[in-house]
Amino acid sequence: MKTLKNWTVTRTEAHHITLTVDGQHQLCLYVLEQNLFRVLIKRRGELALDRTWSIAPAEDVPWEGRPREDLSGFSLPDWQLEQAEGQVTVSTEQLRVTVHQPLWLEWHYRTAQGDWRPLVSDRPTSAYLLNAHGDGVAHYQRREPDDRYYGLGEKAGPLLRNGKRYEMRNLDAMGYNAASTDPLYKHIPFTLTRRDDISSGLFYDNLASCWLDLGNEIDNYHAPYRRWQAEAGDIDYYLFTGARTLDVTKAFVRLTGKTLFGPKWSLGYSGSTMHYTDAPDAQAQLGNFIRLCREHAIPCDSFQLSSGYTSINNKRYVFNWNYDKVPQPKAMSAAFHDAGLKLAANIKPCLLHDHPRYEEVAQQGLFIRDSQSDGPEISSFWDDEGSHLDFTNPATIAWWQNGVTTQLLEMGIDSTWNDNNEYEVWDGEARCHGFGSPVAIKHIRPVMPLLMMRASLEAQQRFAPEKRPYLISRSGCAGMQRYVQTWSGDNRTSWQTLRYNIQMGLGMSLSGLYNVGHDVGGFSGDKPDAELFVRWVQNGVMHPRFTIHSWNDDRTVNEPWMYPAVTPAIRSAIALRYRLLPYLYTLLWQAHADDEPMLRPTFLDHEHDAQTFEACDDFMLGRDLLVASVVEAGQRERRVWLPDNDAGWYDFYSGVWYSGGQWITLPAPLETLPLLVRAGAGLPLSERITHVDAGQDDTRELKLFPLNGVGTSQGLLFEDDGESWGYLRGNALWVTWEMVCDATTIDLKVNARGDYRPAWKALKVSLPAGESRKLRVNGVDGDEWVV
């Protein structure tokens, strides 16, 4: 690659300046917000890809992508320009960048006291590189000793990314090692850098396969550095700051689009297994799942049909029902609906060469095209070869949506499970329609699953416009949170996977993917033993997505009742989740409305506590619930660090209060998941331990965990019908509360707004065992608030 060196300022416009570099390239420096700048380099004055699908600061992008030079949705503040010999400086009230000669950028942020401090800088030696005769690009920055790197979306290993090299190349990583396998399914080249006094985000809006080196590589000729390198595309990055790590994560979501607010039932237990739909009597097996849930008193809200329902022999054919296995799809759907369960069906974006409709689709030109012929590209897919659908072609979108509607939704299927959509098309020059502007697949591979899920979503919306859609997707890129819930793919059964999937989920959450989970029990490999299965379920119920899913090597099935001796412990864990559904649903609302992560590393709310940055297996569910999952065989006690929060923590079960900033050891018998609650919190709870039904959910408890002394705290409960768009018209209930504590009294003040009236008529308020202070609700002695 060739280093970019000498530059001159050639143009100053309202919201950016342009430098000409080495007489032929352009560097555009945009001022988007007080603390958000953008750097874009145009090779020879042109863009390799003139559109983006990830940047969505105000509304969703057009199907054909957002023009890269579109600045809508940003506040575009005033800024200052200063020029001196060999440098130019652009600054707002909060952020400043100096461009040095030869080309490298140095960034400063303004403190609350008004002084400028170093934030980050490019390495002065060879900061920007372009492949002189090809497509490759690279960017190098200094690596400072106190930098802590997080982010990168779905990655194996520890949450802290320092000292590692990662690759972004969407792969179907079946049976991956959760501690080491790289790359995986998703493409999110976003890093979050944390220091004691400031945090910053760096997002490369480039969809080509790329590498991020965060200290693995050392070169004697350069000071310590970090590197981003892509095989194609443009250098186009966004750099922004936040006083806290949380501020950076929320800013990244605002940059790439808000979290989908799905229906409440999507937070319930979702059953799934490859076994049922692979069986020759699939419909009977599926019906048996309904019966066994009822027989074992296991609450459940949905079931995910694996792709066996589409099979011909042992291969999978999207939108093809195997009527030998499932002779009556509509009757099957009706049976699930009668039991209160929804159905999601697996769909795949590649048609095998012997698919019954392959020639029809090929003749319509709906596939990605081979780089050297007019025929469809051919890639390996599911034990054979096939061609991938081109979702940058409007005709393909229409064909797909027709299939979703006629083959799934009209059959009674409620949602789509968009799977195997990594688009492993390794002919990088294979041609995509590009909505009329052809583009090579190497530039937009991760956009294909993004557009696939959007096509599915719009089909569902048209079919049931009164209902909020729910979808799942395994692969994607930054911005996929606008459309789907996701999970960590085909994990392998082991205690190690249980431990590192926790880290993986937190990494996704820090990277803007809030609605996440894992295949509980492990997807591939040996079936979990009874102890591992219990601990995995206990951990899983504390994630936004809770699905037990498997394709065990011995063809056994991970089911709640698979080990009778521990079925009561499994039932108890799932019942706990249903008790907590009002809390989880409020968290989903806050993720959508306020960009608040649902899963949170303990440091996210306790940055002043250095211990929270040490590697651990604990995490927060929302701001209030500390989850201490057991991830080691034979463990019957759990040592937990209680973050220093000035208020302390309560044991969720016993109500015992502990001060923060200390280690404690809690009992962890097999049937118990250690949980602690932040003092000052209130957890809304339900007594309905069965499938979600707003009309039948007629009790609501607010379990208070009051401050142990004097002080005030607040909280929120969100309620609506669980599936409609009524909240947009005020047809929801936002219950806010304030708890004022002193030595003798706990005074709860409750207010509400919104037109919705739930089935429950009174909010029952409870206190931990042993709490002796008087409880008052809205100034009256008592323990309930009437809606």
Helix (H) or strand (E) holding 662: strand 662-667
For residue 220, being part of any structural domain is answered with: yes
* pLDDT tens sequence across 68-102: 999 999 999 999 999 999 999 999 999 999 999 99
Q: Domain tally for the chain?
A: 3
Q: What percent of the chain has pLDDT over 90?
A: 98
**21/146 same-domain check:** yes
With a cut of 90, say whether residue 374 has pLDDT above it: no
Q: What is the pLDDT of residue 212?
A: 98
DSSP 528: P
For residue 529, being part of any structural domain is answered with: no
The CATH code of the domain that includes 652 is 2.60.40.1180
For residue 658, being part of any structural domain is answered with: yes
Q: What is the pLDDT of residue 292?
A: 98
Domain final residue, candidates 203, 229, 256 = 256
**663/726 same-domain check:** no
Of 139, 107, 195, which Cα lies nearest the Cα of 1? 139
With a cut of 90, say whether residue 349 has pLDDT above it: yes
Of 667, 358, 629, which Cα lies nearest the Cα of 497? 629
Domain final residue, candidates 233, 256, 279 = 256
Radius of gyration of the chain (CA): 27
CA 684-687-693 angle, 5° bins = 95
Domain final residue, candidates 678, 706, 734 = 678
For residue 105, being part of any structural domain is answered with: yes
**698/652 same-domain check:** no
Specify burial of residue 296 (Cβ count, 10 A radius: 0-12, 13-18, 19+): middle
Q: What is the mean pLDDT of residues 35-42?
A: 98
- The range of the structural domain enclosing residue 725 comes to 694-786
**143/223 same-domain check:** yes
How far lies 663's CA from each of 131, 641, 643, in Å? Answer: 53, 4, 9
For residue 751, being part of any structural domain is answered with: yes
Tell me the two tokens of residue 463: 């079919």
For residue 511, being part of any structural domain is answered with: no
For residue 722, being part of any structural domain is answered with: yes
**674/648 same-domain check:** yes
**85/140 same-domain check:** yes
* pLDDT tens sequence across 711-755: 999 999 999 999 999 999 999 999 999 999 999 999 999 999 999
CA 411-414-415 angle, 5° bins = 115
**656/625 same-domain check:** yes
**746/608 same-domain check:** no
**616/753 same-domain check:** no
The CATH code of the domain that includes 124 is 2.60.40.1760
Q: What is the pLDDT of residue 363?
A: 97
d(CA 386, CA 659): 60
* pLDDT tens sequence across 667-710: 999 999 999 999 999 999 999 999 999 999 999 999 999 999 99
Task: Compute how many other C-beta atoms are within 10 angstroms of the C-beta atom of residue 751.
Answer: 11
As a whole number of angstroms, the longest Cα–Cα distance in the chain is 82
**236/146 same-domain check:** yes
Tell me phi and psi for residue 502, to 5 degrees. Answer: -60, -50
**650/751 same-domain check:** no
* pLDDT tens sequence across 129-184: 999 888 899 999 999 999 999 999 999 999 999 999 999 999 999 999 999 999 99
Q: What is the pLDDT of residue 460?
A: 98
Mean pLDDT of the chain: 97
**622/701 same-domain check:** no
For residue 641, being part of any structural domain is answered with: yes
Instruction: Give residue 775's pLDDT band: very low, low, confident or very high (50, 70, 90).
Output: very high
